[in-house]
Chain A
Amino acid sequence: MGDYIRYAMKRLGQFVLVVFIGVNLAYVITHATPIDPVEQSISASTSFGNAAPEAIAEMRRSLEELYGLKGSWSEQYLAFWSRVIRGDFGPSMSAFPTPVSSLIARAMPWTIGLLVTSTIITWALGNYLGALAGYHQRSRALKAFGLAAMGLHPVPYYIVALVLLIVFGYVWPILPISGGAAMNMPQGWNWPYVASVLKHSALPALSLILIGLGSWFLGMRSLVSNIITDDHVVYAEIGGVDRRRILRSYVMRNALAPQLTGLAMSLGGIFNGAVITEKVFGYPGVGTLLVDAVYAGDYGLVLGVTTVSIVGVSLGVLIIDLIYPLIDPRVQVD
């Protein structure tokens, strides 16, 4: 147990470091700007519609703090951090005066739902099929699947999403291609609404799964084809252990540990893919929020989504790291 605590503390330290560097990166980027962002933002948002003077003053204050234009260098930096820690990015400009934090909170469940479900399906299915393909190397169906995975895996998320959109939007329109649920439907935990959500998430999830499947499949296949020549597997085969049991407990269990590390390492990339996929399918998650915020020139929202995604992804990595010892009890304390 002491080993586990030490391991967990180390992972926690890495998490803090990632968030620290990531947020600093965001700070440095926003200070590299050659234009005066505050004046530009405020004139852009007040040019149409008349906002209350107090609201504009509130926005100017939060923008100045976020951009860190007030006070000395150290004051600017601390004000920026205190806003980040409180999760207070001021009022949104494109949806004035809704706070940025509530816009993100509204979009978050959609992204988390889509991302977690499709990642788990992709990882489990890809690893299972990959293990089968590595174990039964003569199977024609699995070989064909391997070819398909090789052809699909290197294609970027956007292209696959666009092709699915064209196929299911214009050629064979059977699935909804836009939105998170049917319009004008009251939100709630009832079957029609849940069914509509599931139906609307089918295409975004499918494009995430199609792209992701290949890398787990190919990785697992090569891991397994190396493990099956190991002594303990050969011994089990000679000893007449049930072949399904060999695959499950002797082969897959050993190969899963590096694949779980792989999942932690590629979580950022998967998140990038989800952001793009959401935009293509008009899914109401943080990806769509981010892209639309850029189009609208909504500074607080862009910075808010960026920061929240850095924290969110590193939190996901931390969770995977913490359950890692359950899969591989030989916790590495190096």
Chain B
Amino acid sequence: MGAILKDLLKYNIEFRVGSMLIAIVLVMSALSFVSPYPPSDTFVVAPDAPPSAAHWFGTTSRGQDVFWQLTFAIRNTLAFGVLVAMLSRVLSLSIGLLAGYKGGWIDRILMSVNDTFIVIPLFPILILFYFVLRDSMSTLLLAVIMACLGWAYDARLIRSVAMSLKAREFTQVSIYSGMTTREILVREHLPYVMPIVFSTTMNNMNWSIGLEVTLAVLGFMDINSPTIGGMLYWANQHTAVVAGIWWWIAFPIALVVAAFVGLFLLAVSMNEYIDPRSRLARMGGGAR
């Protein structure tokens, strides 16, 4: 693991930039634990103050310090992304590995369902959920719903790896030594798909955070717990752009974009590392 990290840092500029951006985002969210203001209190500082030494990122029209508010917002937003990614990994791993290993009609049924979830436009479905549940729609429930909707694309990737693993000799050996399907999948095949799981985790987090921000900005979420989308929602409610309070919009957007680009770059560099052709090319040993 340490050697892989060293390699990536040395040869891969995407990895370097990506980990730097994510480090900034992580430091920001860690700072929320030492915030002088509780996250949901309003009018604790003078409203509408531009960035200054006392308030680095200025203050909002609701009398909140943008910097400290942002630390809570990015922490909650990241936690949401991690939760959705973890839950949907369980689904995509079990379905992908099972479909790839079993093949036959199990594979066909699972992949038909899988393709359906890839095709269906999820945003209207999520809006329908919010519309029906209204105030009972909590962040946790939204995470579970999104995990149930967002596993399909990655399950297909994992399945394709599992299919090639099935043809390898060690799978035959495991079958002859009497391992159950579950044991083969968990102990033998899971380690091989872990690199893909890592890179898809980053992309899945981007997907879920993007949707969360969007839903919150439209007000289709619990907007009172501070998230990046929630901050933008309140800024829009107070027409911050028209009022010239640009710092209320600009800093949340800058930070969340840093998170998106960072996660994406990490996923790209992981993918490159998995694919030996592009890794060789980068180290200068490739055909071109």
Contacts and interface: CB of A to CB of B under 8 A. Distances in A.
Q: Range of interface residues on chain A?
A: 35 or more
Contacts of B232: 162
A309 B124 contact: yes
Contacts of B153: 265
Interface string A29-44: 1101111010000000
Contacts of B218: 279, 291
A14 B120 CA distance: 12
Contacts of A222: 278
Contacts of A309: 121, 124
Contacts of A271: 121, 123
Interface of B: 14, 112-113, 115-116, 118-125, 127-134, 136, 153, 206, 209-211, 213-214, 217-220, 232, 241-242, 249, 253, 256-257, 260-261, 263-265, 268, 277-278, 287-288
A314 interface: yes
21 contacts: A21-B113, A25-B120, A26-B125, A37-B132, A150-B14, A150-B265, A155-B210, A155-B261, A157-B214, A159-B256, A170-B241, A170-B242, A222-B278, A225-B288, A265-B153, A268-B122, A290-B127, A294-B130, A295-B219, A306-B128, A310-B120
B112 A17 contact: yes
Contact of B127 (A17, A153, A158, A291): A291
Contacts of A226: 277
B32 to A, nearest CB: 22
Contact of B261 (A26, A37, A151, A310): A151
A152 B74 CA distance: 20
Given A159-B213, A290-B127, A154 B115 contact: no
Given A18-B116, A21-B116, A265-B118, A305 B124 contact: yes
Interface in A162-183: 162-163, 166, 169-170
B256 A18 contact: no
A192 interface: no
Given A33-B133, A150-B265, 12 more contacts: A17-B116, A30-B128, A30-B132, A155-B261, A156-B210, A156-B260, A157-B214, A166-B241, A291-B127, A294-B127, A310-B120, A314-B119
A68 to B, nearest CB: 13
Nearest to A20: B116
